[in-house]
Structures are given as structure tokens and as C-alpha cells.
Amino acid sequence: MNRRRKRALKGASGHKKQEPNQIKRIKSKLHQLFATNDGQAYSYRDLIRKLNIRDKKSKDFLKSQLFGLESKEKVRRLSDGRYVSNAESEYIQGKVDHVNPNFAYILTPDGEDDIWVKTTDLKFAIHGDTVNVIITRESGRGFRPEGRVVNIIKRDREEFVGRIEVSNKYSFVVPDSRNIHFDVFVYPEKIGKAKPNDKVLVKITKWHDASSKSPMGEVTEVLGQAGENEAEIHSIMAEFGLPFRFSKKIEKAADAIPDLISDEEIKKRRDFRDTTTFTVDPHDAKDFDDALSLRKIGKDKFEIGVHIADVSHYVEPDTVLDKEAVDRATSVYLVDRTIPMLPERLSNGLCSLRPEEEKLTFSAVFEIDVNGTISKKWFGRTVIRSDRRFTYEEAQERIEGLDSDFSKEITLLNNIGKKLREKRFGQGAINFETVEVKFRLDEDGKPLEVTPKQRKDAHKMIEEFMLLANREVATHIFKWREKGKEEGSKTFVYRVHDDPDPEKLSTFASFASRFGHKVDIKKNLSSGLNELMESIEGRPEQNVLESLAIRSMAKAKYTTDPRGHFGLAFDHYTHFTSPIRRYPDVMVHRLLQHYLDGEKSVTKEDFESLCLHSSEREKRAADAERASVKYKQVEFMQTMLGEMFEGIVSGVTEWGIFVEIIETKCEGMIRLTDLTDDMYDFDEKTFRVIGRRNKRVITLGDKLRVLVAKTDVDRRTIDLEMVLD
């Protein structure tokens, strides 16, 4: 459950027994003085002067407060009699979640309450910053602890994307991010070639402690006019710190790799050049990093090879190409472009398994029967020559009965793939078929149409063989023991997916029940979820429930810890099949070859840090991809202002009701303040709003008729209005 939503009604107000104003002022000022002047020592006389104390009663109270603070070790007395704060031990470290212009929450370690902080007490810490905060009021009944930022440990970022507003004497950049609640002041000589209404990248050159003052900055890059496709996509890239291009040094290193594959290299490898081999990819794909081969070896028995581009042959450890790939860690797929992990020379050339070209590959080869039973497996470096490049649509035509080239081979592979899929689900795999959208764009990048992507048998066939290779490589390494050692597997890179949190699952089950679906989470969770996924396919609530189900699951990640994969029901799993676009796959290839060569296990620490980095980069890529989809959805809905649609409630917060428009799969929000038929209160426990007078209840899954009222491309938001009956 979203932390921000859980804490929604827990405000920062509360009541204590009133103290005399003077005494209350001394306590507050004394506390503030030590909290905000870390390391500064004060004598008793200094404090009298600083706190403007004159009467004897107040001076006596100050003494008692100092003795109390000293006994609690919140201050200590130096040899000269001065007092200095021990507040550092009282600091709580956390990250800023700046939810609106007036206040923020400091997200603290698990198990601790978030701390409510007024914007004026943030010391100009911004969303994402790591800070030290001191509690100024403890939590109580009905409210969370309140605090004040003492210092900023680490700035999350110092560059922001926004729209520039230019005047003769000064300019301001208004950041796009909904969590940044200030403008950046820029002097005229610091705006470069920026023009009014340009999207720019601005770097902060001076922060102010006072929240009333804007930070100062300079424009480092002009991205283009706001609203233009290139400017907006570049804004997303800059917002998430994605690289715009490869440096000349990187391109030069890639260009220096020879095209020719030597006979000596081919002799080191298992030769599949005469075996029937083909690739199946999206129609607009440029990099083909996996291929399937098929050879009959007996009655109802076949040799199936999963051949993966051998990126590790071309990208050697600690080279400039490798360091760049480590830094990027993954390719990023925005709506209208790919930001590759490797230069085009590698990703679309040397490593792409293009038809009728000899290519170096790393393969998992299986002897398998028509029922999907594996009798033998082999892993190692190979050389292939693909006979044909298929699109998913072309492969699907053959599966559906088209009698053409390789129809028999594709049909056979599809039938075996179905057997593998049946076995996987029989072992407890969960059938998550999330709805993704695709856009038809014009030549200027404007969206003309948005439709859900369809996954057919051709997609599932390729997926099954990739899952098979990933599982078998991970299992092979896990079971491979060091000579003379009975325990402990070799260090490897795994893809793990932990079991879901029971509380989150229980919450999800209660949501599903509101749609009339029952999920048995106590007996057989996977079969219960699969039954649900099957029952909602094609229904209006499909996308909402699938999204909620995924949110209730743990996040998959990379690690050297050989745990299992809950969603796939695999004891061991890795990523072996996409080294062109994922750095963990490159690590897997290197480690597998290292062990095939008979070398000892490597140490875990270096690989674990790379796993953590790759997981973080993966999240960044996913966030950027979602932002690009949201931008195109908002841009598409701009053409439909004033139109009415049927929608389904996909989220409810203290701010408003999120509604997914069924026809376009675009999500917008109805602000509670815009509801005219009543005043609505948010019930955080049941994720619903209730009218104070009419007692109308609006909750997840409800169908509403909405009107598109406003769109904001900069902040990627769609404002909706509820059409009342």
C-alpha cells in the first residue's frame, strides 16, 4: 500500500496541556537553538542573552531546562562551563517526500513513522534529498511526529527540467516535476540561447536556506520549445538522467572492433551454421539478440537451441565499452525511441543475429521430446547463421495455419512451448498478462491512436524458450559444486522474486472481492491468482486488478543470493537471453564461461554491488518508460477536451479519484475539491470517498462517466470531471 495514501488522514495537529506563554517560548527557543546550531557552545549568560530572558523566574526555569537536558544527555557541559548540543545522536535520517507546497514527509527507516515537516522547516531540502531531521513534537493520538530538517546530507539532484519564463531583468525556470515546489531564478546572462517557453535543463548554482527565496541557477542545455515532441522526450530523458548520446570515445571504441570472424574463433565453438535457425521479433526491432534452432534427432525427439548474441566476446571487462555498459546497465524503451546500452555498431550490427550472416552466440541447447521433457542439456559458445527473420505477426500466421516457409518448424516449437507453459503453471507460476498500450504516431511524433498491445501464441512461444534457457542456466550453476566441496554453490547473478507480503495480499483480495471475484490466498495462492486473471480477461476491471495484483507482489531484482522466483515458480532463475540490452546478462555469460573453463568461484562482493546498481538502473528505466507513455497519453487526450467517456475507478486518495478511461486506457484524476454534488471525505482503510450529506460511496472498480476537463503536458496530468446523473 502506498505510504503516502496510508498516512493521508494523519495530520500534524494535536493538543497538549497549555503552558504559560513565556515558559513555552523558552522551551521552544532553547530546543531550536541547539537543534539548528550544531556544534555551537553557549554559556549560561549567552543563553540568557540569546533567549532575551530578564526575570528571575525565567532564568530559574532556564537552569532547570539545562540540567534536564544534561541529565538526558541531549546536551553536555564543557570544561569551561559552556553547553553544547548532543543533538546529532537525536537526529533521524530519511528522504524527503514533498507532497505539496505546504509540507513534506520525511520517509524514515522501515517500522518508523514518517515525520511531518512544514515547508518552511525544510531548510530548502527538496523531494528525494537525504536529510537529518530532529523531532520537535512527538507523535500522539491522531497525528504523526512533527520535525525540522537540521541539515541536508545528500542532494538527490541539482539539475532540473522545466519551462523557462524570460523577461528583460530576470528569468525563472518552472520545474516540470510535481514534487518540486519552487522556481529557479536565472540571471539573463545565464540563460544561454533559451527563448521564452523553451524546455531547458537548469543547474542549481546557489541554494538558499530560507524557503521564501528561490535557488539560483544557470541553463545548461536548451531542449526545444515546450509541446514539441523532441523537446518533451528530451525533457523526460534529462529528468531521469538518461544519456542523450554516446561519447566520441565510446563510438570510436565500437568502430574499432573488426567485422571478420576468424577461423580460429569458429574452431573454438560448436557449429550450428547448417542447422535450421531463425529469429522472431517485433516488426520494428533492429537488434535481434536471440534465435531458435531446431533439429530432429529421433522419433518425437528434437534438439532445440536457444542462441543468444555473444556480447561478452566483443565487450571485454574494464574496457571503455564495458564501463559505459555498466553505467547504463540497461537499454531504455521510450514511446518513440530506444536509448541503447551499447552503441549501434554492436547492438544493431556485430551482435544482432541478422539473417544469412555468421554470428557468434552463447547457447543453451536441449534434447527435448514433444511433451516438453528434457533428457539432455548443453551450454557453451557457438556460431550460427540465421535462415530467416520473422516478425511476431508472420510467425503467428504460420501458427494459425498458413502453409509457408518454416511453418512446420514454428508449429512444432509452438506446441512444445505450450507443453512447457502447462508444466510451469502446474508448478505454481502466476499468469500475469499486464495490459500495455502502443501508439500510432505521425511523422512529428503526435499520437494518432492508442491501443492495447496483444500477446498471441507467437509471443508466448518465444517467451517459453527464453524462460527455459534462463531457468536451466541458473539451475546448472547452482548445482555445480566446487571440486572437493560438498556445500556452497558458485557465485552467480540471479534474478529473484520474493514471496508477497501477506498483509498486501489480504488487502488485494478484499479489493478483488468488490468486483465479485474471490481470491483464495490461504490454500493455493498461485492457482487462486491464475483463476482470477483468467476470469477478468477482457473485462473493464482487468487492468485495474492486474495493476493492483502486481503492486501487492515483491519487486524482482538482481542478486548473488540464490533465492527463487515466486512469480515464475522457479527455484532458480537468471537473465541469460538479452545481453544486448541488459548488463546482468553480460555478467551471466562471463561467469558461465568462467566456470565452463574450470575456474574457481569468484568473490560475491563485486558482483553484488553490480547487481544492486543494475536493479536501480532497471527501476530508472521503467520510470522513464512510464513517463513517456503518460506524456503521449496526455498529448493524445488533448484532442478530446470536453468529450465524455466511460471510466473505471483505478485509485482513490485524499486528493482525488483516479479514473482509467476504458476506451483509451488513459488515466486522469477527479479532484475532490471539484466535486459539486457534495463534500467528500476519504476513508483510507477502504480506499473510498463518502459524501457527507448524500452518503454516496465511490471506491475502486466503480464505473463513472467522466468529462476531459484539462490536460497538462508539462506535468503529464489529465484532469477529469465527474458527469452527475
Percent of the chain past pLDDT 90, that is, above it, reads 57
In a shared domain, residues 448 and 467: no
> In this structure, how many other beta carbons lie within 10 angstroms of the beta carbon of residue 147?
28
- pLDDT above 60 for 168: yes
Same domain, 107 and 137: yes
For residues 146 and 190, state if they share a domain.
no
At which of 424, 452, 480 does a domain end?
A: 452
Backbone angles phi, psi at 142, to 5 degrees: 90, -5
Give dist(CA 101, CA 648) in Å, integer.
29
- Assigned C-alpha cell, 547: 495493476
The dihedral through the CA atoms of 582, 583, 586, 588 has a sign that is negative
Does residue 290 have a pLDDT over 50? yes
1 with 82, same domain: the answer is: yes
Q: Is the pLDDT of residue 11 over 70?
A: no
Verify that 382 and 473 share a domain, yes or no: no
Neighbouring-strand partners of residue 379:
364
The vertex-336 CA angle with 333 and 340, nearest 5°, equals 40
Who has greater pLDDT, 539 or 486?
539
Residue 130 shares a structural domain with residue 23: yes
Calculate ∠ Cα 563-509-664, nearest 5°. 95
The neighbouring-strand residues paired with 364 are: 306, 379
Q: What's the CA gap between 129 and 125, in Å, rounded?
A: 6
pLDDT above 50 (res 156): yes
pLDDT of residue 18: 39
For residues 141 and 173, state if they share a domain: no
Residue 503 β-bridge partners: none
Q: Does 404 fall in a domain?
A: no
Which CATH number characterizes residue 217's domain? 2.40.50.700
Q: How many CA atoms lie within 13 A of 243 on its CB side?
A: 17
CA distance 641 to 69: 61
3-class secondary-structure state, position 587: helix
In the chain, the percentage of residues whose pLDDT exceeds 70 is 93
> What backbone phi and psi angles, to 5 degrees, belong to 647?
-140, 170
The Cα–Cα gap between 307 and 387 comes to 13
User: Does 218 score more than 50 pLDDT?
Assistant: yes
* pLDDT at residue 282 is higher than 80: yes
Taking the C-alpha atoms of residue 692 and residue 694, their distance in angstroms, rounded to an integer, is 6
Q: Name the residue with higher pLDDT: 533 or 618.
A: 618
Residue 381 half-sphere exposure, CB side, CA atoms within 13 Å? 20
Q: Which of 314, 329, 324, 406 is nearest to 359 (CA)?
A: 314
Both 505 and 584 in one domain: the answer is yes
Asked if residue 94 has pLDDT above 80, the reply is yes
Q: Give every strand in the sheet of 83-85, ordered side by side.
A: 41-42, 83-85, 75-77
pLDDT tier for residue 211 given thresholds of 50, 70 and 90: low
The 10s digit of each residue's pLDDT in 657-704 is 999 998 888 999 999 999 989 999 998 777 789 999 999 999 888 899
What average pLDDT score do residues 434-453 get? 88
In terms of Cα–Cα distance, which of 211, 196, 30, 11 is closest to 126?
A: 211
Average pLDDT over residues 154-164: 90
User: Using CA atoms, how far apart are residues 569 and 68, in angstroms rounded to an integer?
Assistant: 58
CA within 13 Å, CB half, 140: 10
The closest alpha carbon to 658, from 719, 713, 711, 714, belongs to: 719
**Statement to judge: residues 445 and 568 lie in one domain:** no
Residue 39, domain CATH: 2.40.50.140
- Helices (H) then strands (E): counts for the chain: 18, 34
φ/ψ of 14, rounded to 5, equals -175, 170
Q: Is residue 514 part of a domain?
A: yes
Any domain includes 105? yes
Q: What is the domain count for the chain?
A: 5
What pLDDT does 7 receive? Answer: 42
Helical segments of 439-541, H only: 457-479, 502-513, 525-536
Dihedral pair phi/psi, residue 408, rounded to 5°:
-65, -45
Between CA 551 and CA 500 the distance in angstroms is 10
Kindly report the average pLDDT of the chain as a whole number: 88
9: pLDDT confidence band, cut at 50, 70 and 90? very low
Which position has the higher pLDDT, 91 or 119?
119
Is the pLDDT assigned to residue 375 strictly greater than 50?
A: yes
175 & 73 share domain = no
Among 5-14, 165-174, 387-396, the minimum mean pLDDT is found in 5-14
Average pLDDT over residues 153-178: 89
| Position 499 confidence tier, pLDDT thresholds 50, 70, 90 | confident
Same domain, 21 and 114: yes
Q: How far is CA 146 from the centre of its chain?
A: 29
132 pLDDT tier (thresholds 50, 70, 90): confident
- Is the pLDDT score of 304 beyond 60? yes
Number of other CB atoms surrounding residue 176 within 10 Å: 23
Give the residue carrying C-alpha cell 535557488: 215
Q: Is residue 235 part of a domain?
A: no
Give the domain range for residue 344. Answer: 256-390+433-452
Residues 707 and 620 in one domain: no
Q: 107 near 93, Cβ under 8 Å?
A: no
> What dihedral do alpha carbons 422, 424, 425, 426 form, nearest 10°?
80
| 21 domain residue, yes or no | yes
632 or 56, greater pLDDT? 632
| Predicted local confidence at residue 313, as pLDDT | 97
pLDDT at 87: 58
Asked, for residue 260, whether it belongs to a domain, the answer is yes
**Residue 396 falls within a domain, yes or no?**
no
pLDDT of residue 374: 97
Has residue 427 been placed in a domain?
no
**In the predicted structure, residue 212 carries a pLDDT above the cut 90:** no
Highest mean pLDDT among 459-473, 499-513, 683-697: 459-473
Beta-ladder partners of 659? 649, 668
Q: Assess whether pLDDT exceeds 50 at residue 17.
A: no
CA 73 – CA 604 distance, rounded (Å): 42
Q: Which of 103, 128, 151 is the C-terminal boundary of a domain? A: 151
